[in-house]
Amino acid sequence: MVMNVIEDLGSYATAKVYTLTSAIWFAIATSFGLIAAGYLVAPDFMANIEFIHFGRSRPIHVNLVLFGFVTPGLLAAAFYYTPRLLRTELYSEKLGVITVVLWNGMLVFAVVTLALGHSQGREYAELPWAVDMMIAVLFSMIIYNLFMTVRQRKEQILYVSIWYTCAAVILTAVGYCLGNVIWKPDSGALLGIPDAILLWFYGHNIFGLLLTPLGLGVAYYVLPLATRSPLYSHTLSLLGFWSLLVVYTHVGTHHLLQVPVPTWLKVISIVDSVAMVIPVMVFLVNIWYTVKDKLGDVYADIGAKFVFTGTIMYFFANFQGSFMALPQVQRVTHFNNWVVGHAHIGVFAFAGITALGGLYFILPRITKKPLYSRFLADLQYWLVLIGVTVMAVDLTVVGLLQGNAWLNGETIYRVLPEIHLYYVIRASAGLFIVAGAYLGLYNIVRTLFFNPGVATE
Ligand code: HEM
Ligand code: HEM
């Protein structure tokens, strides 16, 4: 029966189920974000519902955006372009679909455990050991499928998107097990400062060695194709790849500049955070020169439009990130909403918007029909763009207010009423994003299953 369902999905079955997964969890994850934002506006409003109070809806939101929305969204595109770039079939669509089904089971399990209060209490590593093991096995299945596809390829040259995809899944599989201390099932943690160092080595690698390379892989695939332009420079693409790997692996301790970790480790993290300008600008110069003079084509393709916007947000996230890693700056920006603003620029405005672009780019290609509604996709684009921009500016301003108040020795009870309005604005911006997520879900479900459009083949 399972095999029949997989056959009914037709070609690119794995990419299709990743697409659906990403769209569904985007809606659920942002709903939890809105609930968390609601608690910050009115903490007493739903004070008695323990399953969703702030301490539980926050990690549910964060884990779902990371592992439910963005990662599957970027993998959907990867499972489409990997076989195409290698001029072969995916090694096993069955294995691919089974992986995604189990991945969804893992996400449901994760939500239930977090809602019941079973958290290991380490940011981005809250999930209990059983879920960690499921994630490790699922990453192994993804690696196996992708690498066997690479092995059976007919195209000898490995385009840079393949390099990024393979590096992302391998490094994350290893980093996830290390960061979650899977050899200590009870606590999932070491003791004291070494634990903090290991956690943030893993924590920043989730952004730097999972979302970033997957996102760059999608941009390197979508933008040259949508503009029908050859890549500006293959040498730059390799320089960007290797410098990203060398530099990004050392930045984790910039999360711990206010903590008594060894100074040499802080220095390395600061120097490499600033050196991130190399992989970032190498990528941006390469991709922006590729689409130079072709912005009309970018605008005409809704997938490319999302992805190109993602590259602009990548610039902002990284520029801001290098700046925030300077100790003098962090004395103001640490421990407040500035960092949450940066997180939404990086994880959502860059990686999430790129993932949405990848989905819209591949949808007509995997269903062989036009998108159900270009209008709805455009509307979603503006809703999420306005929502995340307002949210990021708002959180940055609150962060500056909080940081300066703390430096000036202000008491918390005087600052809280001052920032309440900003929390209301953040929740309102969230409404735009949630609306965009549900519109996108509708559009994607219609495109995948109930599309009256004429087949293009
Ligand atoms: C040049 C590249 C980047 C640098 C140097 C950088 C730097 C930083 C620093 C210093 C912090 C910690 C701030 C603090 O706690 O005071 C931080 C936090 C964070 N960054 Fe970045 N960032 C970069 C790019 C990105 C990107 C591309 C993403 C997303 C894909 C991202 C996601 C995050 C997130 C989610 C946090 C919040 C972590 C937490 O929960 O505390 N960053 N970043
Ligand atoms: C409806 C839209 C959204 C709302 C209302 C929202 C709200 C929130 C709230 C209230 C927090 C907790 C902040 C705190 O502890 O002070 C948070 C954290 C976070 N959210 Fe969202 N969010 C939304 C969308 C998204 C999306 C789409 C993404 C990524 C694709 C995302 C990624 C994150 C991350 C990475 C954090 C952790 C930040 C940190 O610890 O520094 N959010 N969000």
Q: Is 115 exposed, middle or buried (0-12, 13-18, 19+ CB in 10 A)?
A: middle
Residue 259's CB: how many other CB atoms inside 10 A? 12
Protein residue with its CA nearest to atom 10 in ligand 2: 37
Give the angle 182-186-187 at the CA atoms, nearest 5°: 75
Which tens digits make up the pLDDT trace of 229-274? 999 999 999 999 999 999 999 999 999 999 999 999 999 999 999 9
Close Cβ partners of 97 (under 8 Å, ≥ 6 residues apart)? 6, 9, 13, 14, 17
Protein residue with its CA nearest to atom 40 in ligand 1: 123
Above 80 in pLDDT, residue 5? no
172 close to 248: Cβ distance less than 8 angstroms: no
Above 90 in pLDDT, residue 388? yes
Average of per-residue pLDDT values in the chain: 96
196 close to 262: Cβ distance less than 8 angstroms: no
The Å distance, Cα 168 to ligand 2 centre, comes to 23
Q: Is 113 exposed, middle or buried (0-12, 13-18, 19+ CB in 10 A)?
A: middle
Q: How confident is the model at residue 452 (pLDDT cuts 50, 70, 90)?
A: confident
* Best residue for ligand 2 mutational test, from 30, 390, 426, 441 (most atoms within 8 Å of Cβ): 30
Q: What percent of the chain has a predicted confidence (pLDDT) above 70?
A: 98
Tell me how far apart the alpha carbons of residues 350 and 197 are, in angstroms, rounded to a whole number: 26
| DSSP letter, residue 88 | S
* Best residue for ligand 1 mutational test, from 339, 400, 406 (most atoms within 8 Å of Cβ): 339
169 close to 143: Cβ distance less than 8 angstroms: yes
Query: Mean pLDDT over residues 34-40, rounded?
Result: 97
The finding on whether 424 has its CB within 6 A of some atom of ligand 2 is: no
Query: Mean pLDDT over residues 272-295, rounded?
Result: 97
Q: How many CA atoms lie within 13 A of 181 on its CB side?
A: 20
Rounded alpha-carbon distances, angstroms, from residue 280 to 93, 167, 263, 284: 34, 17, 26, 6
- Return the pLDDT at 6: 74
244 close to 225: Cβ distance less than 8 angstroms: no
- Return the pLDDT at 224: 98
Rounded alpha-carbon distances, angstroms, from residue 115 to 15, 38, 370, 380, 443: 30, 17, 39, 29, 29
Query: Mean pLDDT over residues 20-36, rounded?
Result: 98
Residue 232's CB: how many other CB atoms inside 10 A? 17
Above 70 in pLDDT, residue 457? no
Which tens digits make up the pLDDT trace of 148-159? 999 999 999 999
Q: How confident is the model at residue 128 (pLDDT cuts 50, 70, 90)?
A: very high
Tell me how far apart the alpha carbons of residues 444 and 361 are, in angstroms, rounded to a whole number: 12
- Return the pLDDT at 11: 87
Above 80 in pLDDT, residue 455? no
- Return the pLDDT at 1: 60
* Best residue for ligand 2 mutational test, from 25, 61, 353 (most atoms within 8 Å of Cβ): 61
Q: Distance of alpha carbon 234 from its chain centroid, rounded?
A: 25
Query: Mean pLDDT over residues 380-398, rounded?
Result: 98
Which tens digits make up the pLDDT trace of 318-360? 999 999 999 999 999 999 999 999 999 999 999 999 999 999 9
Length of the chain: 457
Which atom of ligand 1 is least distant from the CA of 254?
A: 10
* Lining residues, ligand 1, CB within 6 Å: 123, 207, 211-212, 251, 254-255, 273, 276, 280, 317-318, 321-322, 324-325, 330, 333-334, 339, 342-343, 346-347, 350-351
The Å distance, Cα 275 to ligand 2 centre, comes to 27
| Backbone CA torsion sign across 40, 42, 44, 49 | negative
The Å distance, Cα 204 to ligand 1 centre, comes to 7
Q: How confident is the model at residue 48 (pLDDT cuts 50, 70, 90)?
A: confident
Q: What percent of the chain has a predicted confidence (pLDDT) above 90?
A: 95
Which tens digits make up the pLDDT trace of 92-116? 999 999 999 999 999 999 999 999 9
Helices then strands, counting H and E runs in the chain, come out as: 19, 0
Closest CA to 124 of 207, 34, 193, 187: 207
Above 90 in pLDDT, residue 139? yes
Residue 221's CB: how many other CB atoms inside 10 A? 27
Above 70 in pLDDT, residue 3? no
Query: Mean pLDDT over residues 204-233, rounded?
Result: 97
- Through-space distance between the first and last CA atoms of the chain, rounded to whole angstroms: 28
The pair of structure tokens assigned to 218 is 């999608």
Q: How many CA atoms lie within 13 A of 45 on its CB side?
A: 11
Query: Mean pLDDT over residues 167-171, rounded?
Result: 98
The pair of structure tokens assigned to 280 is 């970032």
Q: Which amino acid is at 8?
A: D
Q: Which amino acid is at 289?
A: Y
Higher pLDDT, 412 or 164: 164
Where helices occur in 68-211 by DSSP H, the ranges are 71-85, 93-115, 129-151, 160-179, 192-205
Tell me how far apart the alpha carbons of residues 133 and 200 are, in angstroms, rounded to a whole number: 20
Query: Mean pLDDT over residues 191-217, rounded?
Result: 97
- Return the pLDDT at 454: 67
Above 70 in pLDDT, residue 444? yes
Q: How confident is the model at residue 187 (pLDDT cuts 50, 70, 90)?
A: very high
| DSSP letter, residue 455 | P
- Return the pLDDT at 273: 98
Q: How confident is the model at residue 2 (pLDDT cuts 50, 70, 90)?
A: low
Which tens digits make up the pLDDT trace of 203-212? 999 999 999 9
Above 80 in pLDDT, residue 295? yes
The finding on whether 333 has its CB within 6 A of some atom of ligand 2 is: no
